Structure 1
Amino acid sequence: MEVGHYYLLDTFADVPFQGSPTPVCMLSELLDAPTMHQLAQELNAPVTAFVKPSDVEGDFMIRYFTTEGEIPACGHATLGAAFVLLTQETSFNKIKFVTIEGIRPKAQITNDLTYIEYPRFPHTIIDIPPKLLEALGMPTPLTHFYSSELQSLFIELDNPNEVNRIQPNFELLKQSTDDIKEVVVMSKSNDEAFDFILRSFCPWIGINEDPVTGSIHSVLGPYWQKQTNKSDFAVYQASERGGKIFVKTFDDHVALGGHCKILVAGKLLL
């Protein structure tokens, strides 16, 4: 039985096989959570997005699943879903998503970049668990902070070489804490094309290293705005696949932009 359309995209990339591989399932009716989880396991990507129209025109319900289970938010999956809706599935110029937590990111395409809007999230200072630093095997942080909204720890290092050299012990990282679901390590860039670089580690949700991460910039946009007195940023995620994120900060939100490349399109049959 056909239940919707299926797309495989590379998000935050303008050529194939870079950025984040992102399955997007466009559904006529939302599937139950166990079935969506099984599909995510079958597709075996970092995150799979499931989307269906809501009762409000231009609004779409969206859910996110990793191979380990459901997560409340995912920037690259939202970006991929927005690109599919705006270029393949609808004639809307702007759309809005509704997440399971009631967050309503808006999306549109501007100058060939797909942008999604997130609230500006604050950050606080916490103590880093010693085992976490041991698992990362990295030098003493320049600074660090935590986002409770994203359950993410952010660590700034002195230079990109230190970021690139990190080789985490992922099993030890998982054992180091139950309160953190993602560790983002970053520094200023030494490449004039980018303002800062980062890597993201999420073994707690089944993603050892995320190829490209979107939602964290709801925290990082305001942070780097304060550090640099700039409002627009070009960011490079230094994963194995690599990805480019374009961030614009505003008084009440952050816009995350990126290119998307559709590789596969077809029917979803169950």
Structure 2
Amino acid sequence: MRIRIVDAFTDRPFSGNPAGVLLLGPDGFPEDDWLRNVALEVNHAETAFAHPLPEGGEADWALRWFTPASEVAMCGHATLATAHVLRTTGTHTGPVRFATHSGVLHATPQEDGTLTLDFPTAPLTPVGVPDGVAEALGAEPLTAFDTGPNTGDLLIEVADEKTVRGLAPDLGALARYSERGIIATARSTDPARGYDFVSRCFFPNIGIDEDPVTGSAHTALAPYWSERLGRPDLTGLQASARSGLVRTGLRGDRTLLTGSAVTVIEGELLV
């Protein structure tokens, strides 16, 4: 069985967010323990497993995502990586529909070589800033929003881009404030540099100290910043060490996420 490592939300190897991708046969998913063990062996933030579905249904492929610790309900970068593998291997070259635990997700190839994902927009609910979160994050929150069940994050705006880039949170303390983790964000200091807002994502509850580039987080960042900046189409920079760009388009209860991907490793899984 072929296994690939794909860097998502980047057009340069060794940047963006790496994901494992396995295309399975039509018989369905193996047992969950096997899927978890493969994800642990790959040891990236997420590994995607996909198998083809019969023609004529609402989706073309079934898709699941696992971290080294657990299954997750939604993952943007591993979905982008899977669509990239389907296209570059000639397995499925047109628009593709994925059946997932978060509903049917669409991926559409663009003429410039990028891929656009169609995800549900996160329902943002303002919440009071929890006691102790400023100390755990290492910065004073300006606002705090719950991002809903698909992502399970606490979205926090901080003072400025410099603050986001300089965060060094107490991850153990941060874990108590949401189901998955914390999205820290701020406006771009200089939008002329090609991005409108910056973010960093810390997910200690699913075994990821800091996620390099998080597609699912941008289903919350897109409506948050679209309201504040007055535009439906924006570009976000996730300012991790690897970094990556996500182009977002707010379309009511759907968010479009556009980015590039590059395959960096291909090999054979022997078990």
TM-score bin, normalised by smaller chain: over 0.9
| More displaced stretch, 36-45 vs 222-231 | 222-231
Letter in 1 for 2:189: N
1:130 partner SS: coil
Which segment is superposed worse, 247-256 or 191-200?
A: 247-256
Kept in 1, the 8 Å contact 2:174–2:181? The answer is no
Look up the equivalent residue of 2:133 and give its one-letter code: L
| CA RMSD across the alignment | 1.5
The 5-angstrom pairing of residues 200-219 of structure 1 reads 200-219=201-220
Matched ranges for 1:1-270 at <5 A? 4-28=1-25, 29=27, 30-56=29-55, 59-101=60-102, 103-110=103-110, 111-139=112-140, 141-149=141-149, 150-174=151-175, 176-177=176-177, 179-191=178-190, 192=192, 193-270=194-271
TM-score normalised by structure 2 residue count: 0.92
In structure 2, how many angstroms separate the alpha carbons of the residues matched to 1:80 and 1:171?
Answer: 30
- For structure 1, the residue ranges without an aligned partner over 5 or more in a row are none
CA contact (8 A) 2:126 2:144 kept: yes
89 and 38 in structure 1: CA distance in 2 versus 1, 3 angstrom threshold: farther
Q: Give the drift of 1:135.
A: 1.2
Deviations 1:31-63 (A, max 9, x none): 110000000111110111111111236611111
| Equivalent position SS for 2:240 | coil
Q: Which deviations, in whole Å up to 9, do the C-alpha atoms of 1:64-92 show, x marking residues without a partner?
A: 11111111111101110011112214243
AA at the equivalent of 2:17: S
Query: TM-score by structure 1 length?
Result: 0.93
Q: Aligned partner of 2:106: which letter?
A: K
Of 216-225 and 113-122, the range deviating more from structure 2:
216-225
2:184–2:200 CA contact under 8 A, matched in 1? yes
Q: How many residues align?
A: 263
Question: 2: CA distance between counterparts of 1:222 and 1:31?
Answer: 37
Amino acid at match of 1:152: D
Counterpart secondary structure, 2:242: coil
Report the more deviating stretch, 193-202 or 112-121: 112-121
Shift of 1:265: 1.9
Q: Please, which runs of 5 or more residues in structure 2 have no aligned partner?
A: none
Matched AA of 1:190: T
Deviation at 1:104, TM superposition (A): 0.8
Give, in whole Å, the separation in 2 of the partners of 1:34 and 1:183: 28
Deviation, 1:148, is: 1.8
Moved over 4 A (4+): none
